[in-house]
Structure formats: structure tokens, C-alpha cells
Amino acid sequence: MAVSSVNNNNGGTGYGTGNSAADLSEQFMQLLVAQMQNQDPTNPMDNNQLTSQLAQFNTAAGVEKLNSNVQLVGLMLGSMQEMSAASWVGRDVMIEGEPKITWGDSETDDGLNFHQADDADKVTVTFTDEAGKAYTAELKDTQKGVNKFTLDDLEDFKPSAPEDGVEYKITYQATKEGAEAPKITGLIKDAVEGVSMTQQGAVLHLKSGETATIGDVFLLQ
């Protein structure tokens, strides 16, 4: 005998209006009790079908609980990221950019940094002035990750060493024998002056006036 509703103590139907696994399971149990009370003794309910239906509700309840836990973990990670980013104020970060130096400046060596996707046999460093005149030099056996170097580490200048007092843009080209050239990214250093939170995550406000996300940072100093 099919039962379409269950009367509650107040004369109304006993169906809940919730859509959660717990609500649906409660509604199912109410229907099950009513059906057992009104079933045809000569054609009782199929135990296998009953067991299968109960297992489906238990699975649904487990998935719902898992989803809730995953959402909670996501919120916790977001809060941890916000607290971590706030502690970056006043510190330096290295991000992708176009490095420039003035040859002969005593502070030049502080800005010579790049990131490599893999080890390389050689990195060609090119210094180009405003007029387009270029000078090259080499670094040998550079490693995967962030690399820092000084002008003293450079070898084999061509056609000569750059001229003192001139500003140069720096570019890099990595090579590796017998393999594809590793990706190389020029890095610049900037200071974090503030942090704001958005729906996409923490945004770093830098001394240069630019902004960056945590994912843009190659190194925190």
C-alpha cells in the first residue's frame, strides 16, 4: 500500500520542508513506519530494497558532512592567509619585474636576482642602455629557484664591461645542454607597506605604488 503523507499530532502532514540529508532521512523514516503499519501482510516490503534505501541516505548524510568540513577548512585557511599576509608589512618581497641598475652604483648588487624553473648550465645576462646598446656577460651552473648574484660573479663580458654611471635594463636567457631552456624570470625587490583583503585573497600594497598577490611573490625577505 503506497502512503503519500503522514499525519502529525496536530492533524497536518509530517513532512519536513528541509533539503538536508538529515531532513530527508527523517521524512523517509516517517514514510517507512507508515508503510509498515499499512502494508499488505501477503505482500510485505522487500528487505533488500529497504536496506539499499537506508544506505543511500547514510551516504548522502556522510557527503553532506564532508562538504561542510571542507568549507570549514577553506574558511580556516583563508583566515590563516590573512593573518600571515598582515605580518608581511614592513618586509621586502621579490616579484616579477624589469630589473634596472646604474653601472658603478654601490647599491647595484642588491638588485641582481632572478628565478629559474630548473637548473641551467649557463645564464646570459644582457645589459641594455636607453639607446639600445647592449652588453652581455655569463653566469655558470645556476640552480633552480631564486638566484642572487653580484657583478663580480659575471664572466666573459662582450663587447666590454658596461660604462659607469649609465642605467641599464637587465634581461636573462638560460640554456641547458641537451634539454629545453629553463624558463627564467627577472625579479625586483619591493617593500610591503600595507595589506588589504578581497574575495580573491590578500592584496599587498607595495612601496613602488604597485599591488601584488601572495602568489606573485617569489621570495619574502
- Shared-domain flag, residues 153 and 99: yes
* Helical spans, DSSP H, in the chain: 21-38, 47-86
The pLDDT score that the predictor gives to residue 15 is 46
The pLDDT score that the predictor gives to residue 54 is 67
Q: How many domains would you assign to the chain? A: 2
Of residues 122, 123, 129, the one with CA closest to residue 100: 129
The string of pLDDT tens digits covering residues 133-143 is 999 999 998 99
Say which residues have a Cβ less than 8 Å from residue 151's Cβ, sequence separation at least 6. 108, 109, 112
DSSP 100-117: EEETT-TTGGGG-EEEES
User: What does DSSP say about strands 211-213 and 134-142: parallel, antiparallel, or unpaired?
Assistant: unpaired
Domain hosting 41: range is 21-85
- Shared-domain flag, residues 111 and 185: yes
The string of pLDDT tens digits covering residues 160-190 is 999 989 999 999 999 998 889 999 999 999 9
Of residues 178, 33, 36, 172, the one with CA closest to residue 115: 172
Between the alpha carbon of residue 50 and those of residues 43, 44, 64, 107, the distances in Å are 14, 11, 21, 78
Q: Choose the weakest-confidence range: 35-44, 111-120, 195-204.
A: 35-44
Using 50, 70 and 90 to split pLDDT, how confident is the model at 192? very high
Residue 10 has pLDDT above 60, yes or no: no
Q: Assess if residue 221 is contained within a domain.
A: no
Using 50, 70 and 90 to split pLDDT, how confident is the model at 5? very low
Residue 128 belongs to domain with CATH number = 2.60.40.4070
The pLDDT score that the predictor gives to residue 12 is 45
Residue 8 has pLDDT above 60, yes or no: no
Q: Assess if residue 4 is contained within a domain.
A: no
* Helical spans, DSSP H, in 46-169: 47-86
Ranges 7-16, 148-157, 196-205, most confident? 148-157
Using 50, 70 and 90 to split pLDDT, how confident is the model at 200? confident
d(CA 16, CA 9): 14
Residue 92 has pLDDT above 70, yes or no: yes
- Shared-domain flag, residues 98 and 137: yes
Q: What is the mean pLDDT of residues 36-56?
A: 65
- Shared-domain flag, residues 142 and 59: no
